[in-house]
Amino acid sequence: MSDSVRIKWFERPSAYEPIWQAMRDFTEQRGPETADEIWLVEHTPVYTQGQAGKPEHLLNPGGIPVVQTDRGGQITYHGPGQLMVYCLFDLRRVGLYVKEYVRLLEEAVIACLTHFGVEGACCKPGAPGVYVPQGVASQELAKISALGIKIRNGRSYHGLALNIGMDLSPFSGINPCGYEGLQTTDMRSQGVVVPMDEVAQYLYSYLSQAIAQRSQVAAA
């Protein structure tokens, strides 16, 4: 078993469906010794509807395509300026339960945002993802990162989306993640402008180190 997590950057921006198919193919074909991988992607504009998605949460897609996908969760938007971190992990091999894995993804995003100077990043009970205050002293939270995962035979694919510096207006065409009136934001709107490559490298390092540590524990 390899203790290293491989990193793979895709052409930016990339269409959603070929990447989705590649994730499924990788997961179906991998064996017990296949190294885990993290895929870093920036997509062309697309709405993706998760397995729990309801048609009524698609309000006004305009000319943006809608793809019914196999990840968990409801509808969300992907587009330029948003970093996709697709985690192709053998969770069974490293001894991670699904709830632990979701928490790891959230912790990675919170650590990343804190590292780059975004304040107040947190989770909401019962609403996976990462949120930040809408303003100084505000009690209202806006979503900055969404999670959507699929587990097949103990192996994960899909992952997380982090809004870095993007056109947020397409989120108004949906109820993001199935929540009416949910506000969305990005790092730029929070006053933090940072190259996507730097954010990607931080998240890759955090997640790959966490998986390596779990591998060592599982092998002990």
Q: Which residues are annotated as a binding site for substrate?
A: 71-78, 146-148, 159-161
Cα 165 to Cα 110: distance, rounded to the nearest angstrom: 17
Peptide bond before 133: cis, by omega within 30 degrees of 0? Answer: no
The two beta strands, 37-41 and 6-9, are: parallel
CB of 144 closer than 8 Å to CB of 162 = yes
Cα torsion at 204, 209, 211, 216 (round to 10°)?
A: 160
Instruction: From 145, 8, 28, select the one nearest 86 (Cα to Cα).
Output: 8
**Active-site residue numbers?**
177
The two beta strands, 66-68 and 46-49, are: parallel
Number of Cβ atoms within 10 Å of the Cβ of 114: 12
Number of Cβ atoms within 10 Å of the Cβ of 110: 20
